[in-house]
Amino acid sequence: MPGTQLTKAGPYLCRTSTSQCSSSQNTKELQPLMSNPVPETTEEKKQQPQGPERPISHQKFKAKLTQWLSYITGDMAVFGEWMKGQFILLQIVDWVLRGAAQVMFVNNPLSGLIIFAGLILQNRWWALNGFVGTLFATVSALILCQNRGAIAAGLYGYNGILVGLLMAVFSNAGDWYWWLLLPNIFMSMACPIVSSALASINSRWDLPVFTLPFNILVCLHMVATGHYNHHFPQILIQPRTSLHNMTWSELDYAKLFSSIPVGIGQVYGCDNAWTGGIFMIALFVSSPITLAHATIGSAVGMVSGLALAAPFQNIYFGLWGYNCVLACIAIGGMFYALTWQTHLLAVACAFFCAYLGSAIANVMSTFGLPACTWPFCLSALTFLLITTETKSIHKLPLAKVTYPEKNLIYFWKMKKEEKIDKQRKKQEQMQVKDVESQLKKDEIIVAMKKKDQEPLDVCTVEVQQEETTQSGTNKNSEAI
């Protein structure tokens, strides 16, 4: 339920905005998520003359709250640093939780915990499979000696959780069919292999691998076994072969509205609206911009479904939403710096993704496969490959991507530095011009003096003249 979160968001934002005296309303909202506990911030506060009318205890409370919030929002970098010194099993739990949240591009163990809570609410067997998947994917990455920083950010776990979850969701053998854990472990251990291989390709264009390893491995498992299998049967998915009934008067607006959180829930294969709502809280904890784009994406998916005359059941079930959610988050502030242009681009990408989702679902159904998140991957990769001549669509280098709010700060800093550089260059050019014009004047005087004394040296003066600009030369020749 997005509404619930938004009311919570109100006071949350207020508390933080009053504690700081920054000028723009926009930055105030984002500040708590990005405040690195660096001494300079505290120094700034000291320098600011604090009004005596405010009670000091109140201010202190707010400062503490901000500090405290900075520990649990954003990417929880401080917590991550602290974790580095802990026991390895504890670290792995942190990595697994971050991996669970990284499906939504969120690098935050608290969000991961909330997401696991949502999964347990949906189905405990699925949640178990998701946990096993994340765990073994992370362990496999450790065995394969992958980059420790990436493992710690959960970047090897998020495909694992999806593989585990969706293999359980699409299994036709019913819940608590324990044999399923075997292919689950095999496939989640293959995640880092496929991730690493895809990264070798995508890194040439500085692109992330998104959930491609999950898509590849789940499709591989499902189509390798199929519906007619003794050990690991899959649910039956068949292509549409006739026109479905569609009466616009039957449209249920309540269900349509609830399809927005359901769409967010379907990112993890969950059709429960409450679970979707819990996921929205998880997103909000880390980054409100991400939550906003997730909601927009889900709504765009719903609208596209109606425009393309999809069966209402599919729309209610969130099947049109989850890809758009991910695509909209990825383009809207995550891999592009958020500006109005990229915001519109994110909305366009969500529409494109919905179209593509329908197309891929139809194609995949021929093989008895679901669409997975192929539509999101392909549309987001397409939109990230665009090159334009405008500066307001700025793709962040992959190594600099963190979360929308921090990305934005990075982008603003970069722009400010560019501006300062430009101004400095302009000033330098101005100075150079001044010096040059002064020099020319001097030359003229020298030339005039020389004319009186040594008329034979005119040639050398002429050589100098060639180096000066034309106007100078003109004056010079007049002078001569």
Cα distance between residue 364 and residue 441, in whole Å:
79
**Residue closer to a copy of itself, measured from CB, 232 or 284:** 232
The answer to whether 240 contacts a copy of itself (rule: CB under 8 A) is yes
**Residue closer to a copy of itself, measured from CB, 284 or 351:** 351
The answer to whether 231 contacts a copy of itself (rule: CB under 8 A) is yes
Nearest approach, Cβ of residue 190 and a copy of itself (Å): 6
Q: Candidates 97-105, 111-119, 167-175, 237-245: pick the segment binding a copy of itself (CB under 8 A).
A: 237-245
Q: Are 350 and 297 in contact (CB under 8 A)?
A: yes
The answer to whether 466 contacts a copy of itself (rule: CB under 8 A) is no
Here the tokens at position 5 are 């979160």
Cα distance between residue 341 and residue 347, in whole Å:
10
The answer to whether 367 contacts a copy of itself (rule: CB under 8 A) is yes
Q: Candidates 34-42, 127-135, 169-177, 347-355: pick the segment binding a copy of itself (CB under 8 A).
A: 347-355
The answer to whether 479 contacts a copy of itself (rule: CB under 8 A) is no
Here the tokens at position 469 are 């600009």
Q: Are 101 and 284 in contact (CB under 8 A)?
A: no
**Residue closer to a copy of itself, measured from CB, 24 or 242:** 242
Query: With helix as H, strand as E and coil as C, how does 342-368 read?
Result: HHHHHHHHHHHHHHHHHHHHHHHHCCC
The answer to whether 356 contacts a copy of itself (rule: CB under 8 A) is yes
Interface residue with a copy of itself among 313, 362, 437, 477 (CB under 8 A) is 362
The answer to whether 193 contacts a copy of itself (rule: CB under 8 A) is yes
Q: Are 315 and 263 in contact (CB under 8 A)?
A: no
Q: Are 182 and 127 in contact (CB under 8 A)?
A: no
Nearest approach, Cβ of residue 76 and a copy of itself (Å): 25
**Of the candidates 179, 88, 165, 108, the residue with the CA atom closest to the CA atom of residue 134:** 165
Residues near a copy of itself (CB under 8 A), total: 59
Here the tokens at position 137 are 């994917």
Interface residue with a copy of itself among 100, 128, 135, 199 (CB under 8 A) is 199
**Of the candidates 153, 152, 140, the residue with the CA atom closest to the CA atom of residue 196:** 140
Cα distance between residue 188 and residue 229, in whole Å:
21
**Residue closer to a copy of itself, measured from CB, 25 or 390:** 390
The SS3 call for residue 318 is coil
Cα distance between residue 128 and residue 134, in whole Å:
10
The answer to whether 363 contacts a copy of itself (rule: CB under 8 A) is yes
Q: Candidates 95-103, 121-129, 242-250, 287-295: pick the segment binding a copy of itself (CB under 8 A).
A: 242-250
**Of the candidates 213, 341, 354, 350, the residue with the CA atom closest to the CA atom of residue 294:** 350
**Residue closer to a copy of itself, measured from CB, 76 or 372:** 372
Helix axes 374-384, 322-329, angle to 10 degrees: 30
Nearest approach, Cβ of residue 178 and a copy of itself (Å): 15
What's the Cα-to-Cα distance from 266 to each of 4, 154, 190, 262, 278, rounded to whole Å?
19, 20, 24, 6, 12
Nearest approach, Cβ of residue 147 and a copy of itself (Å): 7
The answer to whether 300 contacts a copy of itself (rule: CB under 8 A) is no
Residues binding a copy of itself (CB under 8 A) = 144-147, 186, 190, 193-194, 196-201, 204-205, 219-221, 223-226, 228-232, 240-244, 246, 307-309, 348, 351-352, 355-356, 358-359, 362-363, 366-367, 381-390, 393
